[in-house]
Amino acid sequence: MAITTAQSPFRIDPLTGMRIDLKAQALVKINAVLAVVFLLVGGAAGLLVALTRWPAVHLLPADLFYMALTAHGVVALMVWIIFFEMAVIYFCASTVLSCRLATPGWAWVQVVLMTVGAAITAVAILQGNSSVMMTSYVPMDAAPHFYLGLILFAVGALIGCFVFLGTLVIAKEEQTYKGSLPLTVYGCLIAVIIAIFTIASGAIILIPTFLWSLGLIESIDPMMYRVIWWAFGHSSQQINVTAHITIWYTVASLAFGAKPMSEKVSRTAFLLYILFLQLGSVHHLLSDPGMSSAYKIFNTSYMMYMAVLASMIHGLTVPGAIEVAQRRNGYNNGLFEWLRKCPWGNPVFACTILSIIIFGFIGGITGVTMSVEQVNMIIHNTIYVPGHFHGTVAGGTTLAFMGLTYYLIPVLFQRELILPWLAKIQPWLFGIGIAVFGVALMGAGTLGVPRRHHDMTFAGQALSFEWPGMAYMMMAVGEIGGVVSVVGGAAFCVIVVGSILVGKKVPADAKCIVAPHADRNADKHIGMGGFEAPGTFVLALTLFVCLVLYYFINFKYLATVWTLA
Amino acid sequence: MATAYTPPEEGWATEPIERTEIIWIVLALSWCLFMFGWMIAWHWIGNQNMNNEAYRTTPEAYAKKVEDFTAKYTVRQDASDPSLPVVAPPPGSDVYLAASRWQWRPVLEFQKGKSYRVHISSLDWQHGFALLPENINFQAYPGYEQVITMTPNKTGTFGIACNEFCGIGHHIMLGRIYVKE
Ligand code: HEM
Ligand SMILES: [Cu+2]
Ligand SMILES: [Cu+2]
């Protein structure tokens, strides 16, 4: 059904009852499709890298390895994620608020700039003289267009942020919603605020670096570069965290009719990200010269680790909200009936729950531990670091985005998923693959294996160092996990692209897929022992115990190395 | 009923917080405060800390220091590569280690249980000091000279790898520290 207002045509989606601005829909679609295409490219580069770091395979020669690794970092982390985030913020601002998108023309400028920027940087990388890794630490230099592409890409993303903000203003003025912003949109707003700070930091560092690569600026101080680059690099990860947590909340509502346990708590936790997370970039510089311990400790913790607190809160409240909804809907027996009765075969749910688990147990626990000033010395720049952040960006963010994509295909593309059996196992392939990859790489990193390294055997070198057999084994196991996750990632791309191209059209009279609020236990007390979500509480305590144990294990290990003062 | 994607019910800001959340927040916050305290405490109770002593320098000035230091304390040529001098500074002294594409020089020899003020800096790009198998890691910049007092607590042959990507020879960048009784 299509209705038209003075401003912009809308349609009412049969599956969700949502009022969808068709111009916004086109923009969400194009951003999501570009994102998935780039995920495919990034994943292919990831496969090449993984097959090279698997000692028994050692696929690529050094120059191609470093080129593929630069491409993988840039394309997977920046291009795939940020294109998808553009889709998310447009969707949330327009569709969730039933509002028309502000300045669709500018949104198309965003699409074009980001695409052109990504293409320019990709060309620079493939030309071979810009294998500098996504961090491009000075004074190592890339070709000027490597930086130029990134700058254009960032300008595009900034335009997208303003389109989002403009849409919020319109929604408010035209009163398309009542009261406060929905949590979903509020989360996006937080992400966009962080994004603006992030892009500003990126501009402050990349523009001078671009000029330096052209010979217009004499030199760039390496410490200043790292401080500002990480103000950009770190806070860009906070955009991802905020975006994927927003998706967790949203999926909990879509799939279970779940209501956030406490809006107040969740919103405050989001706010803590702005106040305490995005400025805390020094945990990337803990083993660098030139900064005092007092500052390092202050910056990483702000004296109380409020950002860690915020993530721990979301980690409890999202599954908690699901538990409460499930209990109200009738699954109120024992600690875990609600969990057993979750739709484990539904890819939207499976992606989301795996994202929560992997982000918490792998990304979260290790992230907290490695950002301790002293523990960082036994982790900094080892392959442990990629182990950790694949738990956050691949297992956490990417998996959550995959889940949302499965949801968007029938709603926005109005197509049914093809290969439902593959969609059922895809989250598990990708999730378990990445989990094995992450954990094994952390094991290798604990033995000291360096990151971004072509040949851990140091073949032919006089001062060569012998690794214990365990280090080789960990690398092999990890990269096998990596290959499995690539298979999962490829399956995702096939399902998405295939569904869009040849999927069955969703009929106009399809029945609503948004979870009903059955509320069979509305009048009864739910939960146990005065806890509404006792199962989640037990799971959260498990995480807590793991975190505490792991934290002290690292200090125990630290205490055995050379004395450092 | 409100969901995450619909506006919250009126009065959300004053709604009481459920017990599950309250207890969790208190627990998590206590742990966060503990972690902050522990990081400071380790500076007193722990033996592995960065003192963050660092100086500005230039690659030329630093190269000169390394050269003088090497000339002064060389004791022999290395058995694995006779072109490399092995430098055995006296305990307590300043030790100058240079990162450059693609080597850590000079090869050092320490005594177990003795302290050395190890200076680390780069002569060109950024590098990463990675002491193996101890797994102690520091970032090395050009233009900044970092000083870390190291006291080996075991004997043996220790490798130094590079763990900050520094170009095509990154993976062949090595150094060595011998620690004897
Ligand atoms: C599809 C499965 C994936 C595999 C098999 C994979 C594999 C790898 C490997 C082997 C490395 C190299 C580690 C090193 O030697 O330092 C790496 C680095 C990296 N990966 Fe992935 N990855 C995957 C997915 C992802 C995703 C989805 C993202 C981002 C959302 C991502 C972001 C990164 C980044 C940022 C780096 C660091 C690059 C650098 O050091 O500059 N990866 N990945
Ligand atoms: Cu190096
Ligand atoms: Cu290197």
pLDDT tens track, chain A, 565 positions: 444 445 558 999 888 888 999 999 999 999 999 999 999 999 999 999 999 999 999 999 999 999 999 999 999 999 999 999 999 999 999 999 999 999 999 999 999 999 999 999 999 999 999 999 999 999 999 999 999 999 999 999 999 999 999 999 999 999 999 999 999 999 999 999 999 999 999 999 999 999 999 999 999 999 999 999 999 999 999 999 999 999 999 999 999 989 999 999 999 999 998 887 666 788 899 998 888 888 888 887 766 688 899 999 999 999 999 999 999 888 999 999 999 999 999 999 999 999 999 999 999 999 999 999 999 999 999 999 999 999 999 999 999 999 999 999 999 999 999 999 999 999 999 999 999 999 999 999 999 999 999 999 999 999 999 999 999 999 999 999 999 999 999 999 999 999 999 999 998 887 777 766 666 666 677 888 889 999 999 999 999 999 999 999 999 999 999 999 9
The A residues from 8 to 47 touching B (CB cutoff 8 Å) are none
> What pLDDT score does B179 carry?
98
Q: Which atom of ligand 1 is nearest to the CA of A240?
A: 30
Instruction: Please give the order of strands across the beta sheet that includes A2-4.
Output: A2-4, A9-12, A19-21
Q: Does B165 touch chain A (CB under 8 A)?
A: yes
Name the residue with the closest Cα to ligand 1, atom 3: A46
Taking CB atoms and an 8 Å limit, are A453 and B148 in contact across chains? no
Residues 6+ apart with CB under 8 A from A333: none
Domain B53-180 in this protein, CATH class = mainly beta
B-chain residue closest to A527, CA distance: B20
The reply to whether A219 touches chain B by the CB within 8 Å rule is no
Is A453 within 8 Å of A32 (Cβ atoms)? no
Domain spans of chain A, in order of start: 31-37+66-252, 257-342+533-560
- For B116, the enclosing helix (H) or strand (E) is strand B116-122
**Residue A565 contacts B where some CB pair is shorter than 8 Å:** yes
Please check whether residue A433 is in contact with residue A487, taking contact to mean a CB–CB distance below 8 angstroms: yes
Asked if A355 contacts A400 with a C-beta cutoff of 8 angstroms, the reply is yes
Cβ contact, residue pair B124, A301, below 8 Å: no
Of A250, A263, A317, the CB nearest to B8: A263
Give one DSSP letter per residue of B45-89, joined into a string.
H-SB----EEEE--HHHHHHHHHHHHHHHEEEE-SS-TTSEEE-P
Question: With an 8 Å Cβ cutoff, is A544 touching chain B?
Answer: yes
* A252, A377, A527 ranked by CB distance to B48: nearest: A377
The model's pTM is 0.95
Chain B residue numbers touching A462 (CB-CB < 8 A): 78, 80-81, 84, 174
With tokens 């101890």, the residue in question is: B134
| Residue A553 CB coordination number (10 Å) | 12
Q: What is the pLDDT of residue A17?
A: 86
Average confidence score pLDDT of chain B: 95
CA distance B18 to chain A (A): 7
Contact between chains at B174 and A254 (C-beta distance less than 8 A) = no
Structure tokens at A26: 């086109």
Q: Any residues with Cβ below 6 Å from ligand 1, and which?
A: A 43, 46, 49-50, 53, 69, 72-73, 76-77, 81, 133-135, 383, 386, 390, 393-394, 398, 451-453, 482, 485-486, 489
Testing ligand 1's pocket by substitution, the residue of A131, A390, A441, A475 carrying the most ligand atoms inside 8 A of its CB is A390
Residues 6+ apart with CB under 8 A from A198: A231, A232, A235, A236, A238, A239, A278
User: Any idea where the domains of chain B sit in the sequence?
Assistant: 53-180
Q: Could you identify the atom of ligand 1 that is nearest to the CA of residue A53?
A: 10
Name the strand (E) or helix (H) holding A247: helix A222-256
Residue A370: which residues within 8 A CB-CB, separation 6 or more? A283, A376, A379, A384, A385, A388
Q: What angle do CA B58, A136, A80 make, to 5 degrees?
A: 165
Tokens of A272: 């803590």
The C-alpha of B165 sits at a distance from chain A's nearest C-alpha, in angstroms, of 6
